[in-house]
Amino acid sequence: MRAFTSEWVKLSRRTTLVGFGGTMIGVTLLFTTLAFEGAGGRSIDLDGSGSDALVTTAMLSMPEGSILVATDMAGFFGVVALALFASNLAGEFHKGTIRMLFVTEPNRLKVLAGKLLALSSFVAAGIAATLAASIGSGVLMAERVGVETSAWWTADGLAAIGAAYINLSGAALVPALIGATLAVLTRSTAIAVSVGLGWFILAEPLIGAFWDGLSRWGPAAASDALAAGAAGAAGMFGGATAEISYATATLLVTGYSLAALTITATLLTRRDVTS
């Protein structure tokens, strides 16, 4: 598909690879290091209130221990994916290049499908690279801090890695597709990114503190629950279980994604492009 290949040409630029892919890997490696160092007994003080033990050696030695750090980074992956989708689509309107795309391919749905598939594959590749980097760095640090990694390579451990990849990729698509909807709606990178991040980082957690339904069924909550399923809902921070089941989270994530896709496609096909 022409739109898919042309989009990947843009995504392969160094600024995009480093800015989005590099950020995902770099931040995850930082938290992987903190988790293993803390498990090894080193004092980790994140907020000035004293030493914080993010995870124990026993947790890291479990079959799913290899992906505990990456699973807890699900919200961060979603933020990066949202910024990528929103800035990409809104940028096409801001620069006026969207009209050129529609001239070469009059079928707007094909253009949208090609762009979203390319962006989704970029996020999926970024999550795969991030998982590999996190697990690889964990292997290098494990012996020094007393973590036994043999369980990582058992059937259960490899299944946990595969499940983590699928769930993290699926969870990241919800904020990403909502970011795409906001971009097509507002046609402004700044507004789309700020509104999207404002909802997922601030609004939903704050409103959810007073409205139990939103804290359980909102898009951010559903994405977190889907990602938590990859580790049996046992993350680094206290091992809290998700408030909804994995099956319910899957249905909600699918519903939010389809709704965002439908709205985006409708807006793109029915609104005039004047610049």
**Under a CB-based contact definition with an 8 Å cutoff, are residues 235 and 171 in contact?**
no
Q: What is the pLDDT of residue 215?
A: 81
Reported as a single tens digit per residue, the pLDDT across 85-143 is 999 999 988 887 888 888 788 888 998 999 999 999 999 999 999 999 999 999 999 98
Reported as a single tens digit per residue, the pLDDT across 1-43 is 677 888 898 899 999 999 999 999 999 999 999 889 888 766 5
Cα–Cα nearest to 223, from 207, 203, 243, 194:
243
**Under a CB-based contact definition with an 8 Å cutoff, are residues 271 and 181 in contact?**
no
pTM above 0.85, yes or no: yes
Reported as a single tens digit per residue, the pLDDT across 183-212 is 999 999 999 999 999 999 999 988 988 888
Tokens 């889907």 belong to residue: 226
